[in-house]
Amino acid sequence: MSCNVANFKVFGCVAYAHVPKELRRNVHDKSEKCTFNGYNDHSNAYKLYNLVIKKLTTSIDVEF
């Protein structure tokens, strides 16, 4: 039996996390540039490090 590794992402690659409409204003971006830090243990989310605010975040809506 073989594993499907097609959905694995490279640690440290650039990822863009979606910012919900409720948390942004007209002039703010719809996504934030982050780096990929791994997978969340308790859900189907990604662990991301936001370079601007220098904090670790978790998001499901991510573009790599």
Which tokens hold the place of 45? 């989310």
Q: Is 16 in contact with 34 (CB distance < 8 Å)?
A: yes
* pLDDT tens readout for residues 15-60: 998 888 887 787 777 888 999 998 888 888 899 999 888 999 898 8
Q: What is the CB neighbour count within 10 angstroms for residue 11?
A: 9
pTM, whole model, 2 decimals?
A: 0.73
Q: Is residue 6 pLDDT above 70, yes or no? A: no
Q: Which residue has the higher pLDDT, 23 or 2?
A: 23
DSSP 12: T
